[in-house]
């Protein structure tokens, strides 16, 4: 009775099939992507042949360029590819028209144009940068085939444009029409994850259980930037995601703002724990109820409860301004004048003010997210357009420009001097690969995978090429090439191998060069094969000769200067839209440099520490400037505050404040603080807020001063920040008055 199961178990084909099914479990999305990519490529190629376009393989290459598992991403990429192709086509026609019989000048123009486009790709990240990439190598794609026949430039340009448009149209229809995978669900889930992350971090931070400020800064910056990148393509997804893009961007700003307030409060908690334990214990009594309430983040009453807590906190702060004592908690009455020193009184008041600001930002974040999630387009009073500011390293831009220009011109010169007919293929691969890798954070690491993929691809194509003579019809061509494409496209679905898989597919299609007729010229194939390998090797050599400045001391210094510029911006620029710009700008600076440095290194920790202090200083200085415009200060106080803000902007250099600047700022802080408290009367709410912000500013300057002396030789601490036990010069000078 067991003979049949035994035969089944011993059948190697059955075993192989079962093993294959087990291995492929959970791979439906990957294989659906492979199916749609292959279907798009073969339909585009078939239509190109039916329309008798000269290069059907160009339509197939276009599919490889724009394919993506997200339908909205394909439409966005297609849109920018069309723009880039049109710009590149116009540039190609112009260059050939200017230098029809002057190959050296034509080559120089192509090289300079490519360098400028490479620089533009670095200055405009995402699909906008992709427009520059396309505009760069489209020129080579159009001009190189007509170097010896310039009169054919218009015909070639039109043919290339039609082939590209055909590939884009087919890819968009297939990926968006056949089991589309929309961005909406992913973006919405990403926003939910950011919301849950924020609530969890605030709850842990208020309870004193959060991780290091550096870790929080990096993680939150990455989450905010990633969500903004996804929302940049929302307009191509459809009306639903496009309509909620604005409130989600606004919620993303409040997400960053809440993290900044939390970081300031956590740093204050840490200092009080080390220096003023009684004040820390009192402040913690206020923070704990909020932390406990945030534990149940799925409660529909969360926003209402947080608003109620904020209202009670505001009332208690007003009572503290009006009387010498205040009922801080239902069971603990604190007599400020008798039990606490001036330093402790001010620390508690500042902590409560920070908690209030944190609750305000958190409530706004949750509210705008709720509006977006519920699709309430008619109830979005605070859904103003919010732009995530980006920065770039000017030296990296210059290196990309010079690298692309020099490599392109050098390879072109070798081609012209050698007279090698296949040299155009090598030059195109050099240019295309250099352009595509230029915008990457670390192109030197990526070029290794690209070289490996492009080098292996011609050998795989050679195996397929030997079978082409037997493929006498288009269906037979599909049958003969499908196994190769299926395997190579599956490699693209593996995240660790995508940098290898895409060049592998590109190299395969370029080497195969599918046309209207089957080529039997092995000499031509081997020439093109060698040209492709030489071209990708030359691109690798170019990146080795111009490796960039990743993680160097000079780059760290430039990014520190960018942070210093943020201080100048908050001091001098108009306030409208400034918080959004600074919050995102400082985080983008942090992310860019962090991608260039080794995680956990001394340089990374030092820069992260400076970035956190700069972020907090920007917050405080912006708050002080807002109070200047509130109309609640006397003329003398306005003049003193303007002078203080100006001095901070003047003396904040290289991530620190100059020694003579500390002296002037200390004196200005002390004088302004003395004027606020000289009449011994309860402070109005606005002046109490000014006092709290002055205390925070003094705290930031104290930490800067503490880290300024040993910063060149000190080793990074294992704690969450610099040593907070240093003497608080600015704060003590102010409170001593």
Token couple for 269: 């908690």
Q: Is 90 exceeded by the pLDDT of residue 255?
A: yes
Instruction: With CA atoms as reference, report the closest residue to 691 among 634, 661, 648, 735.
Output: 735
Token couple for 394: 């000017």
At 355, the pLDDT band (50, 70, 90 cuts) reads very high
Query: Helix, strand or coil for residue 622?
Result: helix
Of residues 12 and 550, more confidence is placed in 550
At 209, the pLDDT band (50, 70, 90 cuts) reads confident
Report the pLDDT value the prediction gives residue 17, as an integer from 0 to 100: 61
DSSP 178-213: SS---HHHHHHHHHHHHHHHHHHHHHHHHHT----H
What mean pLDDT comes out for the span 182-207? 87
Q: Is 70 exceeded by the pLDDT of residue 329?
A: no
Report the pLDDT value the prediction gives residue 721, as an integer from 0 to 100: 36
Name 326's bridge partners: 334
Report the alpha-carbon distance of residue 535 to residue 539 in Å, rounded.
6
For 708, which DSSP code? Answer: H
Q: Give the distance, in angstroms, between the CA of residue 319 and the centroid of all CA atoms in the same chain.
A: 44
Instruction: With CA atoms as reference, report the closest residue to 324 among 338, 343, 312, 314.
Output: 338
Per residue, the 3-state secondary structure of 354-387, as one string, reads HHHHHHHHHHHHHHHHHHHHCCCCCCCCCCCCCC
Token couple for 295: 């534990």
Report the alpha-carbon distance of residue 407 to residue 401 in Å, rounded.
10
Q: Do the Cβ atoms of 690 and 346 come closer than 8 Å? A: no
At 23, the pLDDT band (50, 70, 90 cuts) reads low
Report the alpha-carbon distance of residue 95 to residue 110 in Å, rounded.
8
pLDDT in tens, 548-587: 777 788 888 899 889 999 999 999 999 888 888 999 999 9
Q: Do the Cβ atoms of 40 and 63 come closer than 8 Å? A: yes
Report the pLDDT value the prediction gives residue 338, as an integer from 0 to 100: 47
Positive or negative, the CA dihedral 582, 584, 586, 588 is: negative
At 715, the pLDDT band (50, 70, 90 cuts) reads very low
Q: Is 50 exceeded by the pLDDT of residue 734?
A: no
This prediction has a pTM of 0.81
At 235, the pLDDT band (50, 70, 90 cuts) reads low
For 576, counting Cβ atoms within 10 Å of its Cβ (0-12 exposed, 13-18 middle, 19+ buried), the class is exposed
Report the alpha-carbon distance of residue 245 to residue 258 in Å, rounded.
20
End-to-end Cα distance, the chain: 99
DSSP 50-94: HTT-S-HHHHHHHHHHH--SSHHHHHHHHHHHHHHHHHHHHHHHH
Report the pLDDT value the prediction gives residue 700, as an integer from 0 to 100: 85
Token couple for 251: 């919620």
| 207 contact partners, CB below 8 Å, separation of at least 6 | 287, 288, 291
At 256, the pLDDT band (50, 70, 90 cuts) reads very high
Q: Is 90 exceeded by the pLDDT of residue 471?
A: no
Instruction: Choose the most confident range, by mean pLDDT, from 145-154, 607-616, 630-639.
Output: 607-616
Report the pLDDT value the prediction gives residue 12, as an integer from 0 to 100: 58
Q: Is 80 exceeded by the pLDDT of residue 706?
A: no
Instruction: With CA atoms as reference, report the closest residue to 69 among 153, 152, 186, 239.
Output: 186
Please state, for a pLDDT cut of 90, what percent of the chain lies above it: 20
Least confident of 323-327, 457-461, 645-649, 664-668: 323-327
For 530, counting Cβ atoms within 10 Å of its Cβ (0-12 exposed, 13-18 middle, 19+ buried), the class is middle
Q: HSE of 610 in the Cβ direction (CA atoms, 13 Å)?
A: 28
Q: Is 60 exceeded by the pLDDT of residue 50?
A: yes
Report the pLDDT value the prediction gives residue 90, as an integer from 0 to 100: 93
Q: Is 90 exceeded by the pLDDT of residue 439?
A: no
Q: Where are the domains of the chain?
A: 29-181+393-545, 183-373, 553-707+725-736
What mean pLDDT comes out for the span 703-707? 76
Q: Is 50 exceeded by the pLDDT of residue 153?
A: yes
Q: Is 80 exceeded by the pLDDT of residue 710?
A: no
Q: Is 70 exceeded by the pLDDT of residue 327?
A: no
Burial 543-573 (b: 16+ CB within 10 A, else e): beebebbbbeeebbebbbebbbebbebbbee
Angle at 92 between CA 86 and CA 98, to 5 degrees: 135
Query: Helix, strand or coil for residue 653?
Result: strand
| 585 contact partners, CB below 8 Å, separation of at least 6 | 389, 390, 391, 566
DSSP 479-522: HHHHHHHHHHHHHHTSGGGHHHHHHHHHHHHHHH---SS----H
What mean pLDDT comes out for the span 629-649? 85
| 47 contact partners, CB below 8 Å, separation of at least 6 | 59, 166, 170
Report the pLDDT value the prediction gives residue 692, as an integer from 0 to 100: 84
Token couple for 75: 């439409």
Angle at 315 between CA 627 and CA 285, to 5 degrees: 105
Query: Helix, strand or coil for residue 473?
Result: coil
Place of tokens 């030059």: 427
Strands 656-657 and 652-653: antiparallel
| 116 contact partners, CB below 8 Å, separation of at least 6 | 401
pLDDT in tens, 676-699: 766 545 556 777 788 888 888 888
Query: Helix, strand or coil for residue 657?
Result: strand
Q: Is 60 exceeded by the pLDDT of residue 331?
A: no
Report the pLDDT value the prediction gives residue 1, as an integer from 0 to 100: 45
At 358, the pLDDT band (50, 70, 90 cuts) reads very high
What mean pLDDT comes out for the span 24-52? 87
Report the alpha-carbon distance of residue 230 to residue 312 in Å, rounded.
38
| 178 contact partners, CB below 8 Å, separation of at least 6 | 36, 39
- Could you count the other beta carbons within 10 Å of the beta carbon of residue 66? 23
Report the alpha-carbon distance of residue 336 to residue 19 in Å, rounded.
74
Q: What are phi and psi of 325, to 5 degrees?
A: -135, 160
Q: Is 60 exceeded by the pLDDT of residue 177?
A: yes
Query: Helix, strand or coil for residue 629?
Result: coil
Query: Helix, strand or coil for residue 646?
Result: helix
At 318, the pLDDT band (50, 70, 90 cuts) reads low
Place of tokens 């990403």: 190
Report the alpha-carbon distance of residue 397 to residue 439 in Å, rounded.
9
Instruction: Choose the most confident range, by mean pLDDT, from 139-143, 661-665, 705-709.
Output: 139-143
Burial 600-623 (b: 16+ CB within 10 A, else e): eeebbbbbbbbbbbbbbbbbbbbb
Report the pLDDT value the prediction gives residue 677, as an integer from 0 to 100: 65
Q: Give the distance, in angstroms, between the CA of residue 286 and the centroid of all CA atoms in the same chain.
A: 36
Please state, for a pLDDT cut of 70, what percent of the chain lies above it: 84
Report the pLDDT value the prediction gives residue 713, as an integer from 0 to 100: 36
Of residues 197 and 314, more confidence is placed in 197
Token couple for 337: 């004048």
Report the pLDDT value the prediction gives residue 129, as an integer from 0 to 100: 84
Query: Helix, strand or coil for residue 656?
Result: strand
Instruction: Choose the most confident range, by mean pLDDT, from 393-397, 594-598, 721-725.
Output: 393-397
Of residues 442 and 80, more confidence is placed in 80
């Amino acid at each position: 009775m067991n003979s049949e199961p035994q035969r089944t178990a011993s059948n190697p084909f059955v075993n192989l099939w079962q093993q294959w099914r087990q291995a492929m479990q959970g791979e439906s999305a990957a294989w659906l992507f492979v199916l749609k990519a292959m279907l798009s490529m073969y339909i585009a190629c078939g239509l190109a042949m039916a329309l008798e376009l000269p290069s059907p393989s160009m339509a197939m290459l276009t599919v490889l360029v724009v394919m993506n598992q997200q339908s909205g991403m394909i439409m966005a990429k297609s849109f920018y590819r069309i723009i880039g192709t049109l710009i590149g086509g116009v540039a190609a026609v112009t260059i050939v028209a200017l230098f029809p019989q002057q190959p050296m000048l034509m080559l120089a123009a192509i090289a300079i144009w490519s360098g400028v486009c490479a620089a533009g790709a670095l200055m405009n990240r995402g699909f906008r940068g992709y427009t520059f990439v396309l505009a760069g190598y489209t020129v080579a794609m159009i001009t190189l085939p007509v170097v010896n026949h310039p009169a054919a430039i218009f015909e070639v340009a039109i043919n290339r444009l039609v082939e590209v448009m055909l590939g884009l149209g087919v890819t968009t229809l297939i990926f968006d029409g056949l089991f589309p995978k929309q961005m909406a669900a992913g973006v919405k889930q990403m926003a939910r994850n950011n919301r849950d992350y924020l609530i969890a971090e605030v709850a842990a931070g208020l309870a004193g259980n959060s991780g290091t400020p550096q870790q929080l800064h990096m993680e939150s910056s990455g989450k905010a930037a990633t969500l903004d990148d996804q929302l940049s393509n929302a307009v191509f997804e459809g009306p639903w995601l496009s309509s909620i893009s604005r409130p989600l961007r606004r919620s993303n700003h409040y997400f960053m703002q809440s993290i900044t307030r939390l970081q300031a409060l956590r740093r204050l908690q840490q200092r009080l724990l080390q220096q003023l334990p009684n004040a820390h214990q009192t402040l913690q009594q206020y923070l704990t109820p909020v932390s406990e309430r945030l534990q149940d983040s799925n409660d529909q009453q969360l926003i209402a409860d947080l608003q109620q807590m904020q209202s009670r906190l505001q009332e208690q702060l007003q009572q503290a301004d009006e009387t010498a004592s205040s009922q801080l908690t239902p069971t603990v009455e604190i007599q400020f004048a008798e039990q606490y020193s001036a330093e402790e009184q001010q620390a508690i008041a500042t902590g409560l003010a920070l908690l209030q600001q944190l609750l305000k930002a958190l409530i706004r974040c949750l509210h705008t997210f709720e509006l977006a999630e519920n699709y309430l387009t008619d109830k979005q009073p605070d859904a103003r357009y919010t732009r995530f500011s980006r920065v770039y390293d000017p030296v990296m831009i210059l290196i990309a420009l010079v690298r692309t220009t020099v490599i392109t011109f050098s390879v072109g010169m070798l081609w012209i001097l050698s007279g090698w007919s296949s040299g155009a293929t090598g030059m195109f691969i050099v240019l295309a690969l250099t352009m595509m890798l230029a915008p990457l954070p670390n192109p030197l690491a990526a070029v290794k995978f690209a070289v490996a993929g492009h080098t292996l691809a011609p050998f795989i194509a050679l195996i397929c090429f030997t079978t082409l003579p037997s493929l006498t019809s288009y269906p037979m061509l599909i049958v003969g090439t499908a196994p190769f494409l299926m395997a190579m496209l599956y490699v693209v679905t593996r995240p660790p191998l995508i940098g290898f898989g895409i060049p592998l597919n590109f190299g395969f299609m370029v080497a195969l060069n599918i046309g209207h007729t089957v080529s039997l010229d092995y000499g031509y194939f081997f020439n093109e094969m060698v040209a492709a390998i030489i071209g990708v090797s030359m691109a690798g050599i170019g990146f080795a000769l111009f490796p960039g400045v990743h993680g160097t001391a000079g780059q760290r210094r430039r990014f520190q200067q960018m942070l210093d510029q943020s201080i100048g911006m908050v001091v001098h620029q108009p306030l409208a839209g400034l918080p959004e710009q600074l919050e995102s700008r400082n985080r983008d600076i942090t992310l860019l440099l962090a991608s260039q440095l080794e995680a956990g290194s001394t340089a990374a920790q030092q820069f992260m520490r400076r970035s956190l202090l700069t972020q907090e200083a920007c917050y405080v200085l912006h708050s002080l400037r807002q109070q200047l415009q509130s109309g609640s200060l006397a003329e003398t106080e306005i003049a003193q505050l303007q002078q203080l803000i100006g001095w901070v902007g003047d003396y904040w250099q290289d991530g620190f404040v100059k020694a003579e600047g500390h002296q002037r700022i200390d004196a200005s802080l002390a004088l302004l603080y003395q004027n606020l408290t000289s009449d011994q009367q309860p402070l109005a709410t606005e002046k109490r807020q000014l006092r709290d912000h002055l205390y925070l500013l003094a705290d930031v300057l104290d930490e800067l001063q503490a880290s300024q002396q040993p910063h060149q030789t000190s080793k990074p601490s294992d704690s969450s920040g610099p040593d907070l036990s240093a003497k608080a010069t600015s704060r003590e000078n102010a409170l001593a008055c």
